[in-house]
Amino acid sequence: MKRNSLLLLFLLFISISLSAIYAQYNEVNLMPVPSKLTAGEGKFRVKSNFAMSVKGDCPDRLYSYASRILHRLSGRTGLFFPQDYVTNKSNSDTVSFYIYCDQKANVKLGEDESYSLNITPDRVELRAKNDLGIMRGLETFNQLLSSDEDGYYMPVVKIEDSPRFAWRGIMMDVSRHFMPVDVIKRNLDLMASVKFNVFHWHLSDDQGMRVETKSLPKLNELSSDGMYYTQDQIKDVIKYAQDRGIRVIPEFDIPGHSTSWLTAYPELASLPGPFTIERNWGVFDPTFNPTIEATYEFFDKFFKEISSLFPDEYMHIGGDENSGKQWNSNPQIQAYMKEHNIPNNHTLQSVFTRRIQKILAKYGKIMIGWDEIQHPELPKDIVIQSWRGEKGLAEAAKNGFHVILSNGYYVDLIQPAEFHYLNDPIGPNSKLSDEERKFVLGGEATMWAELVTPENVDSRLWPRTAVIAERLWSPVTVRDVDDMYRRMDRVSFYLEDAGSTHRRNQETMLRRLTNDNDISALKNFVDVIEPVKLYSRHNQGVKYTSYSPYTRVVDAAVPDVKTARDFRKLVDKYLSKKDEISYNEIKTWLTLWKSNHQELLKTIKLSPVLKEIESLSEDLSLMSEGGLQALEMIHSQKKADKSWLDKQTQLIEKAKQPRGQTEIMVTSAIEKLVKSIPGA
């Protein structure tokens, strides 16, 4: 009994402690959540005399970073600060924000990113061992800005912070749809604002090779459609990233996913060409021939040039989804395998991978590859990027390979933020030993580009990817989904302030869809639909290619749409408490959706491109009408007859069917209302 009492007291203490922690977080809107936050009393008022002072041996990039934060703060408050830029002369002892930095950091794996931020009613102090830590702390400071009737302020807090994982990245595919430099730079700014530190640049695939290579010029001439980054542009992007504390890791996907390469150099293919740049989506057969020396001479020349261009010590070779069909069909390759006792294509690919690894090592690079490259004969310092699941990650760690997780972080699959947030490289239920956990470096979100363009790529990345940044930075115990969504919605604004187009570009797309007519009815509809999930969009009657129009309603719709998410939560609350406020809010929404279809029809008549969603809009209207009736029955505790219930069930089932590759996201909530009618 005594032991049980002590256990209960312990659990009560933990519960109270966690409640206190979340209460502190609820006072701020930080994402990622810091390692340690102590809330104090009072407010630090941001006034027109606000200025920053820098102490210590700081590099130029830190002054630029601090200046950007200063200008964003001025822009959000409308205050005319006397300080124009933060410079090495900004060392006054009478300012309000003091930055203490000991040294310049190397932007490399494992560099210290910790910082401490102390905000009192009178002053702000930010301290770190190096400028990387100062950068992370400046973004925290920027997110703390609040306002009341007396003006702008920062809450009094003390923060001690450092990341949980050293590798926190976003992979952007620029091969399937080319992304101009301004899109890359914009997203580097957004990455920095939520403390990502790796930009994984997927630069080659079947649809294009995107890097200028002076030693192999045919790659630019024949493999890129003229859309590639010059070496000067690449150097500029790398500097831009490093100035934000972000590493740039290029990926060149081989031996498969190589149609574009072989368009320029068909003699290196496993079967005769000719080849042309691929315009379709999927996994294709053209593959480098791993049994001829010319292949390795080619890659020696290529990686010699590329290694001098990209300074990071890591380089990604892809290695995924090699169908092996060309190898199976080539008699010379089959004879080679027999002569060298190579039993299967996986082993043959490991021969290729080991040769490439030695070339990379020759030029000072450590190899990264997707799951498929793992082989016991590879050196243990390589990195395995796990895209096929927890099993692959665990296997790599158990075998002593460094590993990063991407499975569960595929943001192109349109899954909700909650799904990504609860996915963890080393979750609470991980079976890895303490020793094996040391090999898990972190994770990367992946933005594959089959279905995105520069116009809507931000809406597929943000704000959801911010919750992945939190998962990779914050303590494993920070897992409150409701609080995550509360903060994500606020961080969405911070991201927009930092340059994201995830909100404003949608309005541009809607205006185009309405032929520049009133977008109100279409916006009401788009606010409760999402693109279909996973890869089902490819199987719904439309064949997409690289030159297809990505300008339809499905392209303007966004993942994890807030209005629908809030409505689902509202229905759950009402069914639990039957409160009057929730009842009235639900009624307001259902009334809007019931009447919206007639308004949208007026727009559809003027914009034939919208015809594909007409029946889905009608279903939303009819289902909302049934939802209103169900709400009234629940509220007045009346029963529904069987014929009415059967009709509503049929309407709901019809509304669940996607159209225009989109689906209604309030269907489940309305279905709950119907099923909650007394006697239903």
Long-range contacts of 224-229 (CB under 8 A, 24+ apart): 224/260, 225/277, 227/178, 228/178, 229/181, 229/203
Percent of the chain with pLDDT over 90: 92
Buried b (16+ CB within 10 A) or exposed e, 102-114: beebebebebebb
* Mean pLDDT across 421-446: 96
Tens of pLDDT, residue by residue over 273-315, are 999 999 999 999 999 999 999 999 999 999 999 999 999 999 9
- Cite the beta strand spans of 311-455 per DSSP E: 314-316, 366-370, 383-386, 402-405, 440-447
Token pair of 549 as six digits: 């129009």
Q: What is the mean pLDDT of the chain?
A: 94
Tens of pLDDT, residue by residue over 660-676, are 999 999 999 999 999 99
Binned at pLDDT 50, 70 and 90, residue 38 comes out as very high
The string of DSSP letters for 184-225 reads HHHHHHHHHHTT--EEEEEEEETTEE-B--SSSTHHHHHSST
Q: How far apart are CA 576 and CA 675, in angstroms?
A: 14
| pLDDT above 60 for 15 | no
Binned at pLDDT 50, 70 and 90, residue 16 comes out as very low
* Mean pLDDT across 653-666: 98
Binned at pLDDT 50, 70 and 90, residue 574 comes out as very high
Helix (H, G, I), strand (E, B) or coil at 442: strand
Token pair of 96 as six digits: 């309000």
- Which pLDDT score is estimated for 27? 62
- Which pLDDT score is estimated for 258? 98
For 446, residues 6+ apart whose C-beta sits below 8 A from its C-beta are: 170, 171, 173, 387, 406, 409, 410, 411, 412
Binned at pLDDT 50, 70 and 90, residue 92 comes out as confident
Q: What sign has the CA pseudo-torsion 10, 8, 431, 429? A: negative
- Which pLDDT score is estimated for 20? 44
Cα angle: 177, vertex 181, 186; to 5 degrees: 100
The 3-class secondary structure across 85-98, one letter per residue, is CCCCCCCCCCCCEE
- Which pLDDT score is estimated for 680? 73
- Which pLDDT score is estimated for 390? 83
- Which pLDDT score is estimated for 90? 74
Q: How far apart are CA 515 and CA 100, in angstroms?
A: 54
**Cα separation values, 125 from 18, 43, 120, 609, Å:** 27, 14, 9, 55
The pairing of beta strand 124-130 with beta strand 115-119: antiparallel
Tens of pLDDT, residue by residue over 147-198, are 999 999 999 999 999 999 999 999 999 999 999 999 999 999 999 999 999 9
The DSSP secondary-structure symbol of 280 reads B
* Mean pLDDT across 594-598: 98
Is residue 563 within a helix (H) or strand (E), and if so which, with residue range?
A: helix 562-577
Q: Domain residues of the chain, as ranges?
A: 36-161, 167-502, 505-675
- Which pLDDT score is estimated for 204? 98
| pLDDT above 60 for 12 | no
321 as an active site residue: the answer is yes
The length of the chain in residues reads 680
| pLDDT above 90 for 134 | yes
For helices 231-242 and 181-193, angle between their N-to-C axes, nearest 10 degrees: 10
Q: Is the peptide bond before 463 cis (omega within 30 degrees of 0)?
A: yes
* Mean pLDDT across 474-495: 97
Percent of the chain with pLDDT over 70: 96
Check: CB of residue 301 under 8 Å from CB of residue 360: no
Single out the residue of 23, 186, 133, 16 nearest to residue 473, CA to CA: 133
- Which pLDDT score is estimated for 26? 54
For residue 10, the Cα-to-chain-centroid distance in whole angstroms is 38
For helices 464-473 and 481-497, angle between their N-to-C axes, nearest 10 degrees: 110
Hey, do 36-161 and 167-502 end up sharing a CATH topology, with the first three levels equal?
no
Check: CB of residue 657 under 8 Å from CB of residue 651: no
- Which pLDDT score is estimated for 511? 98
Q: Which residue has the tokens 């990622």?
A: 32
Fold of domain 36-161? Chitobiase; domain 2 (3.30.379)
β-partners of residue 168 are 443
Could you say which architecture CATH assigns to the domain 167-502? Alpha-Beta Barrel (3.20)
Tens of pLDDT, residue by residue over 325-339, are 999 999 999 999 999
Check: CB of residue 499 under 8 Å from CB of residue 594: no
pTM: 0.95
Single out the residue of 174, 178, 170 nearest to residue 241, CA to CA: 170
Binned at pLDDT 50, 70 and 90, residue 35 comes out as very high
Which of the residues 313, 321, 496, 599 is marked catalytic? 321
* Mean pLDDT across 351-356: 98
Single out the residue of 282, 354, 365, 376 nearest to residue 316, CA to CA: 365
Binned at pLDDT 50, 70 and 90, residue 468 comes out as very high
